[in-house]
Amino acid sequence: MNTKLTSLVVALALAAGAAQAQDMPFGSDADVEYAKRIWEVMAANRLSGPGMIRATPYEGTDPHGMMLETFYTTATIDGHEGDLIVKRNFGPEGVTADEALADPDKHLGAYTVMFRREAGYDADNKDWFWVKYLPDGSVDKMPDGPAMAGRVAKGMDDGCIACHQGGGEDLVFTSEHLKY
């Protein structure tokens, strides 16, 4: 290939990659920053971090964990009040509720969170913002690199949104959560 053609091919490949990254529905710097603000609110309300409120774990399943604690509340992020669902994911397989309660730091694998953003954020998916945190509060990443924050796996066959589309009208498997 000649030098001009090689340069053109490289330029087109870079432009396509940039366009694809720009169109990705999740994992942007803005998504990660928003997720950090959610974590701060969770920590301030003792839903994460040292001194967090505890509940009796119940049996879970993949991809969340073998034992789970789930909290339903509201939170205000950037002046918007929305529903907040915080799920603590404990493992490994075979862990009991007593073990998770006795040594949560040892068994906590992740926090998976849904926060209902302002109307129009993602109307197709009930305006939920999805995020998966590691136990230290950092945003987890997909194996291929994108951060798991925002419209996680929107349009994909697997992932948060695809799975939760089986969760009823509100994309939440415990659909009665907002009535209480």
- Residues 6 or more apart whose CB falls under 8 angstroms from that of 139 comprise 32, 35, 36, 131, 132, 133, 147, 148, 149
* DSSP codes, 125-169: GTTEEEEEE-TTSPBPB-TTS-BSEESTTTTSSSSHHHHHTTSTT
Profile the chain (180 residues) by mean pLDDT over runs of 10 residues: 40 38 73 97 94 90 84 96 95 91 92 96 91 96 88 73 69 58
What pLDDT does residue 172 have?
A: 77
Taking the C-alpha atoms of residue 175 and residue 168, their distance in angstroms, rounded to an integer, is 7
pLDDT at 175: 53
- Residue 88 has a pLDDT of 94
pLDDT score recorded for residue 176:
54
- The per-residue pLDDT for 20 is 40
What pTM value is reported for the model?
0.81
